[in-house]
């Protein structure tokens, strides 16, 4: 039973354009949602998070949107850069518990 789903295995975007990565979840008890970025041969690194009581959180080029009624969140990257090419994981948890991860989406940004 996958509680966090990333249904798009890959996404290709041109440099300077917007990248939109999507994530769906099934557990309405999740309190927090996080995005992690992973380069090959490295561990995942934290990118941005959002509380379940918010609908938007922005940090520089990265914005996460949360739609609780649809149990859906998305990560927007504007503008996309070649260095953003990586695997992006969506994760969620209830306060104090371990993160549950999706399968990831591989983003490729071409120059």
Partner 1 sequence: EAGVAQSPRYKIIEKRQSVAFWCNPISGHATLYWYQQILGQGPKLLIQFQNNGVVDDSQLPKDRFSAERLKGVDSTLKIQPAKLEDSAVYLCASSPRDRGISGANVLTFGAGSRLTVL
Residues that bind partner 1 (CB under 8 A): 4, 6, 31-32, 34, 36, 41-46, 49, 51, 89, 91, 93, 95-104
Q: Which residues contact 89 (CB under 8 A, 6 or more apart)?
A: 6, 35, 36, 37, 38, 44, 101, 102, 104
Nearer to partner 1, 13 or 91 (CB): 91
Nearer to partner 1, 78 or 95 (CB): 95
Cis peptide before 79 (omega within 30 of 0): yes
- How near is the Cβ of 30 to partner 1 at its closest, in Å? 11
Nearer to partner 1, 19 or 33 (CB): 33
Distance of CA 23 to the CA centre of its chain: 7
């Amino acid at each position: 039973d996958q509680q966090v789903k990333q249904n798009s295995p890959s996404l290709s975007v041109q440099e300077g354009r917007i990248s939109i990565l999507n994530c769906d979840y099934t557990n309405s008890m999740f309190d927090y949602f996080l995005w992690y970025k992973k380069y090959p041969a490295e561990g995942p690194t934290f990118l941005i998070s959002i509380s379940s009581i918010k609908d938007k959180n922005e940090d520089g080029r990265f914005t996460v949107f949360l739609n609780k009624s649809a149990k859906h969140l998305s990560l927007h990257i504007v503008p996309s850069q070649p260095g953003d090419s990586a695997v992006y994981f969506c994760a969620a948890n209830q306060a104090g518990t371990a993160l549950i991860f999706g399968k990831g989406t591989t983003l490729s940004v071409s120059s």
